Structure 1
Amino acid sequence: MTSMTTSALLRRPVLRLRRMPKLDRAAFAMVGLLLLTVAFGPLLAPYDPYHVDLGQAMLPPGAEHWLGTDSSGRDVLSRVLYGARPTILGSLCAVGLSALIGVTVASLAALAPRWVDDAIMRICDIALSLPIMVMALGISVALGPSLRSAIIAMVLSWWPSFTRLARAEIRTTMTSTYVESAVITGVSRWRLMTRHVLPNSLDSVYVQVTLEIGGATLIMAGLSFIGAGAQPPSAEWGAMVESGSRFLTSAWWTAVVPGAVITLTALAFALAGDALRARTSGREVM
């Protein structure tokens, strides 16, 4: 009986995956592949991504170097595999920390007096009136160009959007019947928030996190491309595109390959987030 129950539990996610549209399945498969690359990419790299060999410079894709080499003779495939960590992991950290700060601030705003709530929301409105890329660029340059500065800049630029989203969900949840019943029974405001409100208010935040990872990857790579993020010779996708763009006509693979990986990553997370939003909003997935 136990084995049958375990088997049924294992089959359930597989059946759900089969009922998903092919495009959604492809998106989740791509996201899974990207996360595996973050975890095991360096182990799969055939060469040292930082080994300079000018005698092997600008080699086109072939049997020895599947994606060619760059102007310093470094293997492009190895650098792409290593670059998954700073680019994707940096984006995950930036979005995750932004969501954590946003949910925390929104929760405190809901528990605080009304004037504190209004003040926090006005601060968010002011921050959201500025383009995220412009804010992130300014903060990253002020802190000193580096991958860490880019992550901090993105967090400082992104948390207001998560605060506004979480605050809207919390406000809706607090009008629910079961929350009002909990208030009547004398539940403390802190217990009410942590046990009743927050667990039922975060679905939209989870979906938004998935959607924003793709955009964060583009911003992370963009900051590195213009020199405000990861610095050479770092194997970061945006920095690779910047260095390869100088040789676009003679060695197109040095810029096109990391650029294509950035595009596919952003697209995969966007499609996966849209699929999650469709399921959490109750729409039927055909």
Structure 2
Amino acid sequence: MSTTTTPAPARSAGLRALLSRTGGERRGHTTVVDRIALGTAGLMVLLALAGPYLAPLDPYAVNLPAALTPPGAEHWLGTDANGRDILSRILAGGRTTLLATVAVIAAATVIGTVIGTAAALGGRIVDEVLMRICDVGLSLPAIVVALGLAAAMGPSLQSAVIALAATWWPGYARLVRTLVREVRDAEFVESARVLGVSRTRLVLRHVLPNSLSALYVQTTLDVSAVMLVISGLSFVGVGAQVPASEWGAMIAASRDTAVTAWWTVLFPGLAIAITAIAFNLVGDWLRVRTDPTLRTGGRR
């Protein structure tokens, strides 16, 4: 599952290089691009929380006489093949899509943190066994494995979340192992050990809190990747099912009308793209802010 380690920073770096031409980017400073990304990501989170209450119409109300109405004064983003208001469905679906994304990342982070910490502190044999398991997971395409697991459990958003979390944790485990190994021999950890701090308290209060800054960055970068995969699973029919207002399911339901009613696909796709790009740029901003070598242009 190599998608959870390095590709996200690489993807956002190219986009940032293009956008920062007008942003006046300086190492360690928040640029115009950063502010736009932070504002957009925050707006998407707020819409996910309040979207169902802001929807002007019932997102599930069928109105066949209004089917495939183009964007206009009555329906700002048009309607789908069943006459449902697309704006209302996007606002309602934002919560579903983002909550599913957060659930995958949270579960994968917890599993990866536990396994990575155990590998770093458990001795050579434990480390070898756990890392070989991670290697197997990383060698398999996450989306293909998740597709198979979700199909086996039965098509639903819950199945997609469980399947994706089960394939996404090895990257976090390897990252946490590396971070914990860097901190475990630090002087403050040795001092705490000499003072008789228990092993559990040592890990929870000293090792992990000082190891996970890079993990926060990675989870932010992974929001876009996980969201795209969840939407993809819904699009192929093993994630959220029609008539759910999840963004990927909305695109899947509009495949047959995409040519004649472009708005049924365009606006849910834009919601996914804007959210993914915003969180990718926020993750890259966090990476720059937390890495002293990036803040100083590579000079210590």
- State the superposition RMSD in angstroms: 1.4
Counterpart AA for 1:95: I
Q: Does 1:219 align with 2:234?
A: no
User: Which residue is equivalent to 1:33?
Assistant: 43
Deviation at 1:211, TM superposition (A): 0.4
**Which amino acid counterpart does residue 29 of structure 1 have in structure 2?**
G
Is 2:210 aligned against 1:200?
yes
Tell me, in whole angstroms, the C-alpha distance in 2 between the residues paired with 1:268 and 1:135: 27
Please give the residue correspondences for 1:9-20 in structure 2 after superposition, counting only pairs within 5 Å. 19-20=29-30
The DSSP-based 3-state class of the residue aligned with 2:196 is coil
| CA displacement 1:135-165 (0-9 Å, x = unmatched) | 1111111111100001101110111111110
Say whether residues 1:64 and 2:74 are aligned partners.
Answer: yes
Instruction: Find the counterpart in structure 2 of residue 122 from structure 1.
Output: 132
CA–CA distance in 2 between the matches of 1:111 and 1:170? 8
| 1:41-92 deviations in Å (ceiling 9; x for gaps) | 0111011111111100010000000000000000000000011011111001
| Matches of 1:259 and 1:26, distance apart in 2 | 20
Quick one: which amino acid aligns to residue 84 of structure 2?
R
Task: Kindly indicate whether residue 108 of structure 2 is the aligned counterpart of residue 98 of structure 1.
Answer: yes
Answer yes or no: is 1:284 the counterpart of 2:295: yes
Q: Within 2, Cα distance between the matches of 1:284 and 1:105?
A: 31
Q: Distance in 1 between matches of 2:197 and 2:100?
A: 40
User: Which amino acid in structure 2 is aligned with residue 266 of structure 1?
Assistant: A
Relative to structure 1, is the Cα distance of residues 24 and 71 closer, same or farther in structure 2, using a 3 angstrom cutoff? same
Counterpart Cα distance in 2 of 1:259 and 1:101: 31
Kindly tell me the number of residue pairs found equivalent between the two proteins.
Answer: 268
Question: Are the equivalent residues in 1 in contact too, given 2:220–2:282 (CA < 8 A)?
Answer: yes
* Cα deviation 1:207-226 (Å, max 9, x = unaligned): 10000011111001000000
Q: How does 1:54-203 map to 2 (within 5 A)?
A: 54-203=64-213
Match of 2:219 in 1: 209
Structure-2 change in CA distance of 1:216 and 1:285 (3 Å): farther
TM-score, length of structure 1 as denominator length = 0.91
Unaligned runs of 5+ in 1: 1-18
CA distance in 1 between counterparts of 2:141 and 2:281 reads: 23
Counting aligned pairs with the same residue, the percent is 49
2:120–2:178 CA contact under 8 A, matched in 1? no
Q: Is the 8 Å Cα contact of residues 52 and 73 (structure 1) preserved in structure 2?
A: yes
Task: Return 5+ residue gaps in structure 2 as ranges.
Answer: 1-28
SS of corresponding position for 1:138: helix
Whole-angstrom distance in 2 between the partners of 1:62 and 1:95: 38
Residues 225-244 of structure 1 correspond to what in structure 2 (within 5 A)? Answer: 225-244=235-254
Q: How does 1:43-62 map to 2 (within 5 A)?
A: 43-62=53-72
Q: TM-score, normalised by structure 2?
A: 0.87
- Secondary structure at the counterpart of residue 58 of structure 1: coil
